[in-house]
Each structure stands twice: as C-alpha cells, then as structure tokens.
Amino acid sequence: MKWPVPSGWQFIINGSLVIALVCIIHSIDEIRFESLFKLDRIPLFHPETFHHSISEAILGNTPPNSTIFLAPTTTEIPKKPQQKLQFPLNCTFGIHRTCPANYYPTSFPSQDDQDSPSTTTTCPDYFRWIYEDLRPWKETGITREMVEESARVESYFRLVILNGRAYIETYRKGFETRDLFTQWGILQLLRRYPGKLPNLDLVFSVSDRPAIKSADYSTGPNATAPPPSFCYCGTDDTLSIVFPDWSFWGWAEVNIKPWERILEELKQGDKRWMDKEAYAYWKGTPLSRNRRDLIKCNVSDKQDWGARFYLLNWKKEREEGFKQSNLSSQCMHRYKIYLEGFGWSVSEKYILACNSVTLLVKPRYYDFFTRGLMPMHHYWPIKQYDQCRSIKFAVEWGNNHEQEAQDIVNAASDFIHEDLKMDYVYDYMFHVLREYAKLMRYKPTIPERAIEICSETLACPAVGLHKTFMMESMVKGPTDVSPCNMPPPYDPHAFNTLLRSKANSVSLVELWEKRYWENQAKHN
C-alpha cells in the first residue's frame, strides 16, 4: 500500500505545526528549569545570574569543547510513617477487676524488625550483671520445686506470664504500695513489648533486705541449688535476681513522681556546679545507727566538717503537702551524701541525678544499675566508720580540684540521663526475664489462687496520687524499636579486673585521705 504524498500547502502546514509544538515544549522546559533555581530552593546562588549564564550556554555562548550536563529531576514520595498502635484503658472491665479478652496482640513487629535491625543499640555495660545474678542456676536450671521453695522463704507474690498475660498469687502485703507499682511496671513492659516476653514463673520479694543466704547453698557435689528470688537489691553474701524498684513508676506515699518526670524537672531546675553551695548535703530520717552517726558530722559551734544535714519528718510532710521534700529543691549543694538505712535505700538514683558530686558512704547493698558505677569516676567513696573526717576531706578535695570534681559530676549525670533512662529500665526488665525464662525446666501453669492482672485492674480503681502516677507512667502502646542488644558475659579475667579496679580506686582515696589528716596533725 502506498502512502499519499502531501501537497505543498499540506507540507508547509504540517511543518509549521511541528515547529510550534517544539517551541511550546522548549518553553515549558525553560520554565521547569528556571523553577529549579528559585531562591527558596538553593539560597547559595543568585537565581537571575545563574539562570542567565545557563541561558547563554544554551543559546550558543558555550566555550568550545564544553559539555553541559543537566541533572535529571526526580520526585521522591515521602515514606509514610508507621502509625503507632495504642492500647487505651477500658475501665468498663477494670472496675469489675477483670481484663479485656484481647487487650494485647500476640505479636507486634517493631520498626527495627521491618527496616534495619542493625540500628538496635547495645545495652549499657551493667546489663552484664544479669548473667552473674543467674549464674547459680546455669548448670541446674530452674525447676518448679525451686520456685515453690522460694515462695516459702520470704516472698510477697508469685508472677506467672502465659501468652502475654499476667497472673499474680499474693503471699503477703508489701510495705505501702511497693508490690502494686512493681506489678504495674511489669504490665507496662508487656504493653511496650507485646508478644515478646516468654512464658515464665517467678517469685518476688519487695523487702529492703534479701533473704537467700549464699552460705546455705554452698557449692559441691551434694550441694542443693538455691531457690530463685527476684528483689530490688542484693549483697555479696546473698543470692538475688535484682530487678528495678517500684519508684520508677512513682512513689505515691511520699509524692515522688515517676522517673521520667523527675529527670526532666531536675534538668530544668539545675544550677551550674560552681554556683552551688560548697558543702555536703543530706536530708532524711536518722533511724539506723549509721545515719545517727552521720548526724554527728553536722556543723556546730565547735566543728565544721563541711556538711549541712537536715531531718525529715514524713508525717509532717504529708500533712503540709510535701513542701520540704521536693527532690528538685535538694540539689543546691556541690556534694550530696548517700547512706543506707536499715537496709537498701531507693534514694541513690535521685542523689546521682542532682548534678552534684555524690559522696557514697560504703554500701552493703546494690541494686540493678549501681554495679555499673565506678568510684572516682561516677562518685566519691566515703568510709563507713570514720564518716566526719572522710566527708571533710572529700569536700576540701573537691573545692580545690574543681575541674576533676566537675568531671565526676558530668560522668554521673551522663550515666543517669543516658544509661538509666526509662528505655533502658524496661530493656533491663525484658532481658533479665528472658534470660531467666531460658533456665526454666518446666512449663509454667497458672497457680490455683492466682488472679489475672492488667493495666485496667490496677489503674481503673486507683484514686489520688496512685492513679495520677499510674496514668502518667502508663505505656501508651508498643514501641517501634527492639530491645537493646545484650553485651556478652564477663570472662573470668575481665570480671576480676573490674573488681580489682574498683577496690584500687577506693584504696587510693583512702591513702589520700590518710595523708591529708597526717599533714593536718603536723600543722596543728
């Protein structure tokens, strides 16, 4: 088939249309090209000059042998952020003390799981103590008989987690609401990481003093494995699986707010270390012998040990609305003293958060994070039986070595605000429970007298500060990141080196202190 040959007029008309179309396209391209270089797009260039030079190049003023490269324009569609899932409280169930049938999903993929698992951080170094706490059961595992024996020793409640749901069997009432807020914290962990905690069965003590003595379960071929007990603290001669204390979610009885708000308030109201009063500060109740001895170091007409101490009457504080016990108002001195009472004290983290040099009177007890602290780096060690002279030397040293003292302050502040933020508190809970569950040699079942608990059953009937702190500390829904990655266990050499380093730092301070008082005696 032959195509018809266009006449002369048709050729001219068609050619004109093609030329017009090319001109239109060229004009559109110029408009698009000019828009690329508007001032709000590239502020480092003058658009008129830049566009003029490009136009000259296009019109034929390009130097010989030059080539113009125009980058192609691409339009990126922004990635739609993953919508966060939330679990609102359903108090229709809570007021009847029952839990909703499907209040947590059985699984929830994190953002890290979907995109880049390599972005997950490594846990702080003190997480390595989880392996040490669980070492007594590394060979034998944990049996149902061991857990039931622990329940008979000195325990307050038994916790069973099955398929992401929590069940509590209560043995005895804890002091104030320690047990309640500990259980609340565990429920928030389930909300944060739904479907990620394994099934487990454990016993918890809310006492200030651990009860499982190491000597009662000595090693040997006929030795009996100790009963596993979770608690807030441990000692060198007891066996404890240490767990974060209740006050991270608030201590309603003494108006101590949840940890996240405490940190924010302390940061906002903080003063420069150099601007603080150049004394050591302590405020509390002198019920134990150690604390009564400490009060003797207070300033008097005859002696100034560089310390300022104040007694605290909690009954009066409650009556007057806690006006004298606000934590943020107790950070006005360069040095703050931590001293245990009858047992372990919850106050150490608040003292470390004060942006002051922590003077740590030699403690007997440790909690889950304090084993990550180093003397002379995070705090200044104080003798237990010569407190006045030890405090006096610490204050004199700090006031005469201001930069070194501020380095200690900065290290402690970084530790508290970074390594002890709530993200890591939850991750520590997650990892210690998961490592514990790996040792279990049986499938847990719900105890006959246990009841199911959930956020609804605890928060909905609560009133006053208890409800306020629960609602403030409640995890709204699953996090979009995975738990931090556990560091490896200590090898024997690294573990012994760590302990030796701590002991050497304390010994060095004691040597400095001894020489200081010898010089004072010579000049007096």
Query: Is 120 a residue whose pLDDT tops 80?
Result: no
Q: Which of the listed ranges 23-37, 274-288, 308-322, 369-383 does the model predict with the highest average pLDDT? A: 369-383
**What is the C-alpha separation between 425 and 196, in angstroms, rounded?**
16
C-alpha count within 13 angstroms, C-beta hemisphere, residue 487: 14
Query: CB 56: neighbour CB atoms within 10 A?
Result: 11
Three-class SS state of 375: strand
**What is the C-alpha separation between 282 and 292, in angstroms, rounded?**
12
Residues 244-259 have a mean pLDDT of 95
pTM of this structure: 0.81
pLDDT, greater one: 333 or 151: 333
Region of 197 please: left (phi>0), alpha (psi -120 to 50) or beta: beta
pLDDT, residue 114, reads 46
Residues 16-25 have a mean pLDDT of 48
pLDDT, residue 94, reads 55
Give, to the nearest 10 degrees, the angle between helix 422-439 and helix 259-268. 150
User: Over the stretch 365-398, which tens digit does the pLDDT of each residue have?
Assistant: 999 999 999 999 999 999 998 999 999 999 999 9
User: Over the stretch 225-251, which tens digit does the pLDDT of each residue have?
Assistant: 899 999 999 999 999 999 999 999 999
pLDDT, residue 84, reads 72
Q: Give the rounded percent of residues in the chain with a pLDDT score beyond 70.
A: 79
Burial class (CB in 10 A: 0-12, 13-18, 19+), 386: middle
Query: Is 491 a residue whose pLDDT tops 80?
Result: yes
User: E strands within 369-512?
Assistant: 380-382, 451-453
Residues 62-83 have a mean pLDDT of 46
Give me the sign of the Cα torsion angle 105, 120, 242, 369. Answer: negative
The 8-class DSSP code of residue 120 comes to P
**What is the C-alpha separation between 262 and 259, in angstroms, rounded?**
5
Query: Is 64 a residue whose pLDDT tops 80?
Result: no
Mean pLDDT, the chain, as a whole number? 83
Which amino acid is located at 487 in the chain? P
Question: Predicted confidence band at 455 (pLDDT cuts at 50, 70, 90)?
Answer: very high
Question: Predicted confidence band at 473 (pLDDT cuts at 50, 70, 90)?
Answer: very high
pLDDT, greater one: 188 or 83: 188
Query: Is 36 a residue whose pLDDT tops 50?
Result: no
Question: Predicted confidence band at 478 (pLDDT cuts at 50, 70, 90)?
Answer: very high
pLDDT, residue 104, reads 67
> Residue 202: beta bridge partners?
159
Query: Is 57 a residue whose pLDDT tops 60?
Result: no
Three-class SS state of 339: coil
**What is the C-alpha separation between 395 and 405, in angstroms, rounded?**
10
Query: Is 48 a residue whose pLDDT tops 60?
Result: no
Three-class SS state of 291: helix
- Please choose, from the candidates 388, 335, 341, the residue with its C-alpha nearest in 3D space to the C-alpha of residue 364: 341
- Please choose, from the candidates 368, 356, 410, 126, the residue with its C-alpha nearest in 3D space to the C-alpha of residue 247: 368
- Please choose, from the candidates 253, 319, 186, 174, the residue with its C-alpha nearest in 3D space to the C-alpha of residue 469: 253
pLDDT, greater one: 326 or 434: 434
> Residue 280: beta bridge partners?
307, 335
Query: Is 465 a residue whose pLDDT tops 50?
Result: yes
Name the token pair of 226: 């100790």
Q: What DSSP letter does each residue of 149-180 carry, written as one string?
A: HHHHHH-SEEEEEETTEEEEEESSPPSTTHHH
What are the angstrom distances between the C-alpha of 367 and each of 130, 188, 202, 436?
11, 21, 19, 17
pLDDT, residue 284, reads 87
Q: Sort strands 200-204 and 157-162 into parallel, antiparallel or unpaired.
A: antiparallel
